[in-house]
Amino acid sequence: MYLNQTIGRLLKEKAERLPGHDAVVYSKEGIRHTYEEFYELTGQVAKALMALGVNKGDHIAAWSTNRFEWLLLQFGSARMGAVLVTVNTNYQKSELEYLLKQSDTTTLFMMDKFRDTSYVEIVQSIVGTTGNNGRVKSNDLPKLKQLIYMEEQETDGLLSWKSFLKMAASTSDEELTKRESELEPHDVINMQYTSGTTGFPKGVMLTHHNIVNNGHQVANAMKLSEKDRLCIPVPFFHCFGCVLGVLACVSVGATMVPVVQFDPELVLQTVEKEKCTGLHGVPTMFIAELNLDSFDDYDLSTLRTGIMAGSPCPIEVMKKVINLMGMDEITIAYGQTESSPVITQTRTDDPIERRVETVGKKHPIVEVKIVDPVTGEEVPTGDQGELCTRGYLVMKGYYNMPEATAQAIDSDGWLHTGDLATMDEDGYVKVTGRLKDMIIRGGENIYPREIEEFLYTNPAIIDVQVIGVPDEKYGEKVAACVQVKEGEGVTEEDIRSYCKGKIAHYKIPEYIFFIDEYPMTASGKIQKYKLRKIAEELKDKSVKTV
């Protein structure tokens, strides 16, 4: 069943039904608000945006970690009809400039800095001098009019968060109510730039209808309720944070327990202190938590569920999360930003084999099919092809990119994911790789995921990514970029010997590189196109073949 409502209406319902229930808790920062209080605060942000001159459909951008202000903006902008453009926290100057220009952003909210990157310096280098209260006039960015500093203190040329909130007083409750009445569930309300695992980012336009329903379907698959407290260390600027985390909680009245910036120790501290029942993360996050020397010091007994997603979930890691962290009802979710994002998900009562070997089955109110990438015809059960989906979850399109939109969504409304997958007779899907990741070695099609899953069974290996590198004779050869456990004296030959007799000769990696860290997006996805470039540079230094 669809939820035919806006994000603002969804939140209002929870504020009326559960006024005194915890809506959001920032454990380390000491921020705690009930649903009634949170609804009032989002109204203040909505009225401040209106006072600032932001109109329905205007694009505003948020460049920040998972701070409370970001959360207020997500709901405040949705309540008054602005489109929230989410900005990757790892962006540098050229990437930010591209996003601001391509998205037609009128107002930018930003924190002071992230790690060693000064956001203020980057923005000022792009827009030049600013007028009083953060007013902007830039020839390069003609749509950008306003900069807001998401900090309490004042700084030259920027409007502080505190001063911004004070502006709400000039907008009446009646004006906000009128604006909210003009909003429709199918209005675009969120724009996320694809994380660039395959190249230049595109702005994915998502509606209230898209993400309200996806959050609700995710919550149902997890059996999430108002009794749950979900720890959210994944970034808000990505669907994993703002939909699978935030909107899943609000759809059922659960408590959001965000972590401002991922730190494995802080995550476990938060879970213990706030008695969290759920925890989200990408595989690398769970790996970091499990490998803490202090892991056994924490009481994680309240945990039962959560989601592991964002990149392929190593089977061995999944088993440890279930057995060592006690997350017996953890689910795996699969999808992409263009599908709001979740298409398939395992269920809490699925047998462990389903939860470690598949990405589950489709949500109840969507369609999924596996097609031959060449002919477009549906393939027989169990055969590999491209996964396509159709229904409420398909994006409105890429902003100002009609040709790219037409390539992604066909004339019958099917979104082509670019992912290779199989589906069994019970509807369970196994993702076998990306169309673009497939390695073709001398005419043999090789799927990296298959080799990665095999290598994960080697107890010395923490993580592995398999890619193809160019070769004059074969077209491509297999390369494995490996991370091994500290203290393990593993050699390239050890890994090849482990493979011999267990996987086909042509699948055994011909190049093996030991790597400390992978190039990643801020949301935890490994950027294989960057990894290929690194491997190509290393190839000449390691000319060893099987």
DSSP 459-494: TTEEEEEEEEEEETTTEEEEEEEEEE-TT----HHH
List Cα–Cα distances, 194 to 98, 203, 270, 407, 419, in angstroms.
Answer: 13, 7, 30, 15, 15
Q: Give the SS3 label for residue 191.
A: strand
The token pair at 82 is 């602005």
Q: What's the pLDDT at 128?
A: 86
Give the relative orientation of helices 35-51 and 68-80 as an angle to the nearest 10 degrees. 70
CA dihedral sign, ordered 449, 520, 273, 72: negative
How far is it, in rounded angstroms, from Cα 94 to Cα 544?
38
How far is it, in rounded angstroms, from Cα 207 to Cα 243?
12
How far is it, in rounded angstroms, from Cα 181 to Cα 9?
10
How far is it, in rounded angstroms, from Cα 205 to Cα 338?
8
Long-range contacts of 136-143 (CB under 8 A, 24+ apart): 140/97, 140/101, 141/97, 141/100, 141/101, 141/105, 143/59, 143/104, 143/105, 143/106
Among residues 161, 189, 9, 179, the alpha carbon closest in space to that of 84 is found at 189
Confirm if 211 and 8 have CB atoms less than 8 A apart. no
How far is it, in rounded angstroms, from Cα 273 to Cα 285?
19
Domains of the chain: 1-334 (3.40.50.12780), 439-539 (3.30.300.30)
Among residues 530, 525, 514, the alpha carbon closest in space to that of 481 is found at 514
Q: What's the pLDDT at 201?
A: 80
How far is it, in rounded angstroms, from Cα 405 to Cα 415?
9
* Count of Cβ atoms closer than 10 Å to residue 401 Cβ: 16
Q: Which 8-state DSSP code applies to residue 135?
A: B
E strand or H helix at 95: helix 93-103
Tell me the chain's radius of gyration from C-alpha atoms. Answer: 23
SS3 string, 108-119, reads: EEECCEECCEEH
- In sequence order, the 6+-apart residues with CB closer than 8 A to the CB of 483 are 461, 462, 463, 464, 514, 515, 516, 517, 518
* Count of Cβ atoms closer than 10 Å to residue 506 Cβ: 16
Cis peptide upstream of residue 341 (ω within 30 degrees of 0): yes
Sequence letter at residue 73: L
Confirm if 84 and 189 have CB atoms less than 8 A apart. yes
Give the relative orientation of helices 68-80 and 7-17 as an angle to the nearest 10 degrees. 110
Q: Give the SS3 label for residue 48.
A: helix
- Residue holding tokens 């807001």? 148
Residue count of the chain, please give it: 546
- Residue holding tokens 């590999």? 384
How far is it, in rounded angstroms, from Cα 321 to Cα 324?
6
- Within 208-314, residue ranges assigned H as helices are 208-222, 239, 248-252, 264-274, 283-290
How far is it, in rounded angstroms, from Cα 503 to Cα 451?
8
The token pair at 545 is 């073949």
Per-block mean pLDDT, blocks of 10 residues, the chain (546 long): 95 98 98 98 98 98 98 98 94 90 98 94 90 90 97 87 97 98 98 68 95 98 98 95 98 98 97 98 90 97 93 77 96 95 96 87 97 92 96 98 95 95 97 80 77 91 93 85 91 94 87 92 79 88 49
Confirm if 395 and 340 have CB atoms less than 8 A apart. yes
Q: What's the pLDDT at 522?
A: 66
Q: What's the pLDDT at 88?
A: 87
Among residues 343, 505, 314, 313, the alpha carbon closest in space to that of 428 is found at 343
